[in-house]
Chains A and B, each alone.
Chain A
Amino acid sequence: MFDERSPIYFQIADAIKNDILSGELEAEDQVMSTNQYAAHFRINPATAAKGFQQLVDEGIIYKRRGVGMFVSPDARAKLLEQRRQRFFAEVVEPMVAEAHVIGIPLEQIVDRINALNGKEDA
């Protein structure tokens, strides 16, 4: 489930974000407690807590004192917005840079996108 590429707490936060994006976790659903999470995935509870704290800081989940942690009402919208912003920085910009390096004119890329889009519409 987790790998060596980034701190475990980032990966915990990402896993929960993915559950929210996929709809597995919906607005106002209760999320696992950090201790349950730690025990389930054999992770130090403090490390797991850091992942959850990151989500609280981002407003993705919120705490109800004495009850637990819940998915924020606007969590999914926020995450979609985050991903949309990242899409240009992480997908489009590197693609354009690569196209420059190997000599593909941008019009050719636009044509291909239009063609793909046409197929989808059909």
Chain B
Amino acid sequence: MTLGIDVQGLTVRFGDVTAVDDLSVRLAGGKIYGLLGRNGSGKTTLMSAIAAFLQADRGRVLVDGEQPYENPAVTEQICLVRDSGDLADQDSARAALKRAAKFRPNWDAEFAERLIELFRVPTRRGVARMSRGQRSALGVTVGLASRAPVTMLDESYFGMDAPSRYAFYDVLLEDYIEHPRTIVISTHLIEEVTRLFEEVVIIDQGRLVAHDETEALRMRGAAVTGAVSAVEAFTDGMTVLAERRLGGTKSVTVFGAMGAEQRARASEFDVELEPVALQDLFVHLTKEAPR
């Protein structure tokens, strides 16, 4: 089952802080999405609104065409695991899995056991006495074994060590291939996970900055390097994200399609065009100081 998510002019405020600001984005569903944004950019608020953990001040969220807020038929299709894991402190992993089994219609207990073992999560210890990594792993286990048609992991695996994270990437892909569904993953570890994402959504200060196929977005950024005057002439009128100068050489990061035409122009201007890593593109697109 692949449920689409349609966010229409969503605004969420906390007191006088606007966490999500008139944001619209449409996710067709059935894909793995990366949600990228700096701390405080509104990622968690956006995911929480989709999961109906909070109410919109303006605009609305539709999941499979319906509003999830106070709509159990929709919310039981949505699983959001926040970075804390949303686990009660006195719970053991056993108790947390039992509860998930009760509330999650597609719960796969066998898969959950496999993940607990894979991530080496202690089953009897209370959540409060677990390490950060163990709590993260438990959260990821609940998120994946729920097999919810809309699964959102909000930096859930952030506390896991590298071997556990790579095990998570493998098991995520394997399970997604077997059980395609809409998966949204927010993360800071961009380089590590970029290739898992079919599409990427970048938000900043509660607003949408970019939404595209991962590879297409990556190819929209370019570093232009060459003699100062040539680079300036070539990039005239382009969206410049960053500039650096060393003696007579200048390097400019631009945002915009770099097709065959621009490549031909580059050789005409005698400047070098190089792709930019998504991480760098992300840094440039979101570096404006907060309002």
A and B assemble together: yes
Main secondary structure of the interface of B (DSSP, over half): helix
What's the least CB distance linking A79 to chain B, in Å?
22
**Contact flags A28-56 to B (C-beta < 8 A → 1, else 0):** 00000001001101111111001000000
Chain A residues, Cβ within 8 Å of B215: 7-9, 47, 50
Task: Give the interface residue-count category, chain B.
Answer: 20 to 34
Chain A residues, Cβ within 8 Å of B174: 39
- Any chain A CB within 8 A of the CB of B135? no
Main secondary structure of the interface of A (DSSP, over half): helix
| Residue of B whose beta carbon sits closest to that of A35 | B177
| Residue of B whose beta carbon sits closest to that of A49 | B198
**Contact flags A1-39 to B (C-beta < 8 A → 1, else 0):** 010111111000000000000000000000000010011
A44 engages B195 (CB within 8 Å): yes
Chain A residues, Cβ within 8 Å of B276: 4
What's the least CB distance linking B205 to chain A, in Å?
27
Q: How far is the CA of A60 from the CA of B215 in the complex (A)?
A: 23
> Which of A4, A9, A38: most chain B CB closer than 10 A?
A4
Chain A residues, Cβ within 8 Å of B176: 45
Residues of B that sit less than 8 Å from A by CB: 31-32, 166, 169-170, 173-174, 176-177, 195-198, 214-216, 218-219, 274-277
Q: A39-B177, A44-B32, A47-B198 are in contact. List 11 more A-B contacts (CB 8 A).
A: A6-B219, A7-B215, A42-B170, A42-B196, A43-B195, A43-B196, A44-B195, A44-B196, A45-B176, A46-B198, A50-B215
Residues of A that sit less than 8 Å from B by CB: 2, 4-9, 35, 38-39, 41-47, 50
25 contacts between A and B (CB under 8 A): A2-B195, A4-B218, A5-B275, A7-B215, A7-B216, A7-B219, A38-B173, A38-B177, A39-B174, A39-B177, A41-B195, A42-B166, A42-B170, A42-B195, A42-B196, A44-B173, A44-B196, A44-B197, A44-B198, A44-B214, A45-B177, A46-B198, A47-B195, A47-B215, A50-B215
